[in-house]
């Protein structure tokens, strides 16, 4: 039997696919703390190759720089878990793909790695479109490592649905 969170992610991914197909758009993702979990949910939807271009799992700072063009200055000044890093990851995913919309996730899934300023469960997101509209957000999640990652993937996919749906009207 599938876990509730798997069902939720699959349902969100299917809804996202329908919204992207209606707009004839492709998606790219850049994931750090979720390690490709959002992309896995998306690729579980049959026919996703018509609307999912590619995903980047950029766990290390070097990968963020090399694959997505995140600047070392941003990583030094803001840290890997910051809205600025998420912004640069999403823009980098757009620039290195055929997509019209991209999302990025970077955070601290735990159980360690947190600080008083950025406790475990802190996750930063960005959603970027080719028209240069980029939204960022930071959320605080609770639970174990897997629960934090699942919540982050769900927020990413739900945010993509929101952005695509808002642009469709």
pLDDT band per the 50, 70, 90 thresholds, residue 121: very high
pLDDT computed for residue 1 by the predictor: 39
Residue 169, pLDDT above cutoff 90: no
Architecture (CATH level 2) of domain 4-168: Alpha-Beta Complex (3.90)
pLDDT computed for residue 132 by the predictor: 82
Query: Which candidate, 124, 103, 106, places its Cα nearest to that of 63?
Result: 106
Q: Each residue of 19-36: pLDDT tens digit?
A: 999 999 999 999 999 999
Instruction: Find the farthest-apart pair of alpha carbons in the chain and give their distance in angstroms, rounded.
Output: 46
Across the range 68-81, mean pLDDT stands at 98
Q: Each residue of 144-160: pLDDT tens digit?
A: 999 999 999 999 999 99
Label the pairing between strands 27-31 and 101-107.
Answer: parallel
Structural domain spans, the chain = 4-168
């Amino acid at each position: 039997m599938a876990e509730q969170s798997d069902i939720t992610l699959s349902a969100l991914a299917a809804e996202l696919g329908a919204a992207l197909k209606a707009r004839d758009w492709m998606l790219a993702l850049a994931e750090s703390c979720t390690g490709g979990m959002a992309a896995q949910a998306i690729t579980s939807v049959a026919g996703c190759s018509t609307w999912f271009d590619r995903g980047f799992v950029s766990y290390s700072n070097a990968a963020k720089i090399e694959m997505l063009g995140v600047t070392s200055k941003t990583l030094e000044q803001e840290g890997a878990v910051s809205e600025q890093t998420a912004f640069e990851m999403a823009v980098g995913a757009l620039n290195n793909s055929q997509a019209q919309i991209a999302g990025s996730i970077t955070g601290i899934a735990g159980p360690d790695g947190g600080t008083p300023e950025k406790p475990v469960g802190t996750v930063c997101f960005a959603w970027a479109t080719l028209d240069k509209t980029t939204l960022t957000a930071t959320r605080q999640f609770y639970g174990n490592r897997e629960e934090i990652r699942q919540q982050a993937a769900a927020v990413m996919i739900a945010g993509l649905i929101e952005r695509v749906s808002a642009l469709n009207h």
